[in-house]
Each structure stands twice: as structure tokens, then as C-alpha cells.
Amino acid sequence: WLVEALTHRALGVSAHGAIVTMLASATADVMFWVVRFPFETGKLRVQAMQDRSTLGAMRRLLAEGGYRPGVLYRGWQTVLWRDVPYDALEFGFYELSRTATARIRRPDAERRTAGECDDRRWESALCGALSALCASLLTTPLDVARTRVMTQPRGVLVAYAGVLDCLSKVLRVEGPRALFTGLGERAVMASVGGAIWFSVYEFVRIGPPE
């Protein structure tokens, strides 16, 4: 919903373009995590048996941090490093692939417009799967770095100062191949998820086919 609202209302664009969609998706992602991350922080503390409830964990963190909202956003850069590029690329590739399929059927089409050429649901699924696959291939190094940063032991000595530091050290010490650990599993899951997600996305956006 945020992507559609930003694309058509805030940006005033009636036609889907890859760049516009990528910008809208990235902006929507940041807005989403601004709201969700404090709850995600509280949930992690509950899962670690440090608190009994998410809201209780959030209240404790605020109290310990002098009621500064920033304490609820510690480490959120690691989430943004992975999710914002992934979603922006996924939506961008999707619009490019849908435009390509529209041009195959109608060569004079410069780009697909809202609601146009969406009656073929298999296209949504296929383009969604390919878009998610491409996005996962390009962002797997960020996912590997994020995982390492978030799972490293907390203490005086930390292996990685952040995502960029992690990428640099892994590339230098372990080589490029280490940055694509788990690529196969992630690509398969992303492709299946993309096919389902974009099929539902088009159904909700324009309704069932006539």
C-alpha cells in the first residue's frame, strides 16, 4: 500500500517506471522499519529470555536509556542495509520485467501503466520469481554481513564494527565466495516467495481478472 501511495500520490506518477518504483519501495521500507523496529527490538529481548513481554521490554529499554527513543533503534542500520536494497531491487526488476512482457504483446508500449496487462496471473508469478531471484543474488553479501554482525558475541572485542566493515574483512580474509554463503537456499526461498507475493500484490492492487 505504501509503495502504491508513494508512486501515485506523493510522486504524482500514473505510470509504473523501474526507478520511480525503486525509490518508492525504498522509502516505504524505511517508513515501515521506523514503526516496526522498536517492536522487533522488544521481541528479540523476549526471545532471549530477558523480558516477559515485548511492551515490557520496550519500557525497560526506554527507562534504562533515559527515555530517549534512540535506544529502541540500536542496530537498525543492519536491517536497513539488507532490506532496503533488496526490496528496491525486487520492485525495480519486477516493473522492468512486466514492461518487457507488455512490449512483447504491444511493441509500441513504453512502459506498463497501472492496471494494464495484469490480467495474466502467470506473468505476475513468473516476473515476481525472477525479480526476487535477481534481488537475492545481488544482496546476498549484505545478508551475510548483516547476519554476522547481529550474531557476533557482545563484548569489548567485536569482530565487525558494522556491515561495511564486515564486508571488507570477509572479502579480504575469506575471499568473495564467503560473501555468497547460503545463496542457493536463499535464492530458492526468494523465488517462491516472490511468485506468491507479486501474484497477491497484483490481485489486491487491481482486483480479480475479468
- pLDDT per residue over 109-135, tens digit each? 555 544 444 456 788 899 999 999 999
Q: What is the DSSP string of 64-84?
A: HTTT-GGGGGTTHHHHHHHHH
Of residues 21 and 157, more confidently modeled: 21
Q: What is the DSSP string of 98-152?
A: HHHHHHHH-TT-SS-BTTTT---HHHHHHHHHHHHHHHHHHHHHHHHHHHHHHHS
Q: Which helix (H) or strand (E) holds 196?
A: helix 183-206
Geometric angle at alpha carbon 67, from 64 and 72, rounded to 5°? 80
* Residue range 165-207, pLDDT digits in tens: 999 999 999 999 999 999 999 999 999 999 998 888 888 776 5
Task: Kindly report the number of other CB atoms within 10 A of residue 90's CB atom.
Answer: 27
pLDDT at 1 over 70: no
Please state, in angstroms and rounded to a whole number, the distance separating the CA atoms of residues 172 and 38.
Answer: 34
pLDDT at 12 over 60: no
In sign, the C-alpha dihedral spanning 158, 164, 168, 174 is positive
**Listed residue (14, 6, 12) closest to 30, CA to CA:** 6
Give the cell for residue 76. Answer: 537498525
One-letter identity of residue 8: H
| Confidence category of residue 75, pLDDT binned at 50, 70, 90 | confident
pLDDT at 60: 87
Q: Is 71 exposed, middle or buried (0-12, 13-18, 19+ CB in 10 A)?
A: middle
pLDDT at 38 over 70: yes
Give the cell for residue 54. Answer: 515485548
One-letter identity of residue 34: V
- What is the mean pLDDT of the segment spanning 137-159? 80
pLDDT at 46: 84
pLDDT at 205: 72
pLDDT at 113: 47
| Confidence category of residue 52, pLDDT binned at 50, 70, 90 | confident
- What is the mean pLDDT of the segment spanning 17-38? 83
pTM: 0.76
Q: Which residue has the cell 542496530?
A: 75
pLDDT at 3 over 70: no
Of residues 47 and 91, more confidently modeled: 91
pLDDT at 114: 44
pLDDT at 45: 80
Task: Kindly report the number of other CB atoms within 10 A of residue 18's CB atom.
Answer: 19
